[in-house]
Amino acid sequence: MVTAPQLITGLPAQSLTPGYVEISQGEVADVGEGTPPRPADVVLPDGILVPGFVDLQVNGYYGQELMAGRPDGWAEVVRRLPETGTTAFLPTFITAPLDRLAAAFRATQAFVPDLPTGARVLGIHLEGPFIAPSRRGAHNEAWIVDPTSGAIDQLLTAAGSLLRLVTLAPERPGGPAAVTQLTAAGVLVSVGHSDATAAQVAKAADRGARMVTHLFDAQRPLHHREPGVVGQALGDPRLTSGLIADLHHVAGLACRIAFAAAPGRIAIVTDAAACAGMPPGRYLLGGEAIELPPAAGQPPIRADGTLAGSALRMDTGVANMVAAGVDLAAAIAAATRIPADLIGCPTQGRIAPGAAGDLVWLGPDLQARATWIGGQRVFGPE
């Protein structure tokens, strides 16, 4: 039993002051407001108890690039991500040659079942190579290809059930059919790195696309006569958008506008690269060099100055959104229940009976102080 001065469940408009939660056999057994039915094992003196964060876009962390497929690197990230409040995530592979991606998927399948206790791997997010060269951002243009049926079959076969999310540009030749093929295979399709018109994005949603990758970044912007990817993302109730909440990729005011325009349809992501949690210096993204500048809080860049992922923590992303004027409960939901529901994980991202016992204690500064996974404390003081 854990009690807290405030408990935000991740469910719509549910904040309990004070609140308690009981974990049994790794799951939430009871949650309520006021005095708990028995003495608590853990009494939090301040701050907020929230569900564990769910991050749908993590390229790397703690010096480890996940696409490299090293078991020890993955183990390091899984063990340490709870320090940021993240209890479940999608490791993300960016644009690379198809054979290299397939090899990375096969290698990953072999060791994921043996990873240590820590942040749960919910699948893999493939961001590219089926993207628009004009909106490639930090992706290598030489490796961008059309989403042919054969290419998709190759990756589906190599990844098996690990492939959970694919970001693509639906305007590419074969794009609409690719959305249908991936959706039929049970893979969530996200529109991203795309110069699609609003009408093309709507047609992708007609075929099953349900997400937009890092809203505002690397996509056709909102224009009053051509709403583009951004306009369709904000206006189409079928679409939920990832948002890099570091206040560098997207200004605070634009973040607040997005939350207001698409309530319940914004998911905070980090897009973290291997430099996250590390000192300034040179790291890798997609096997190519990036530089984390010495100025605190700045995102990594390619040699040409292009933003290349981030060094963001999920707890800091939540705090940034609150500082930008987003309601606290809405920011928590955007980091927990909304991304969990988007990828079909109804036991993640909420504090409710039957949900996973994944919890985070946030201090008054909204930084993670302790994290539990399946009711087991994996970070913070005993």
pLDDT class for 60, splitting at 50, 70, 90? very high
Catalytic-role residue among 55, 236, 271, 341:
271
Residue 381: pLDDT above 90? Answer: no
The mean per-residue pLDDT over the stretch 49-65 comes to 98
Q: pLDDT (tens digit, 9 = 90+) per residue, 264-282?
A: 999 999 999 999 999 999 9
Q: pLDDT (tens digit, 9 = 90+) per residue, 113-130?
A: 999 999 999 999 999 999
N-terminal to C-terminal alpha carbon distance within the chain: 14
pLDDT class for 238, splitting at 50, 70, 90? very high
271 counts as catalytic: yes
pLDDT class for 13, splitting at 50, 70, 90? confident
Q: Where are the domains of the chain?
A: 2-48+364-379, 53-347
pLDDT value at residue 297: 84
CATH code, 53-347: 3.20.20.140
CA distance 327 to 244: 17
Q: pLDDT (tens digit, 9 = 90+) per residue, 149-192?
A: 999 999 999 999 999 999 999 999 999 999 999 999 999 999 99
pLDDT class for 133, splitting at 50, 70, 90? very high
The mean per-residue pLDDT over the stretch 86-104 comes to 97
The mean per-residue pLDDT over the stretch 371-379 comes to 97
To the nearest whole percent, how much of the chain has pLDDT over 70?
100
To the nearest whole percent, how much of the chain has pLDDT over 90?
97
Tokens standing for residue 17: 């002051």
Task: Return the minimum-mean-pLDDT range out of 92-96, 196-200, 284-288.
Answer: 284-288
pLDDT value at residue 258: 98
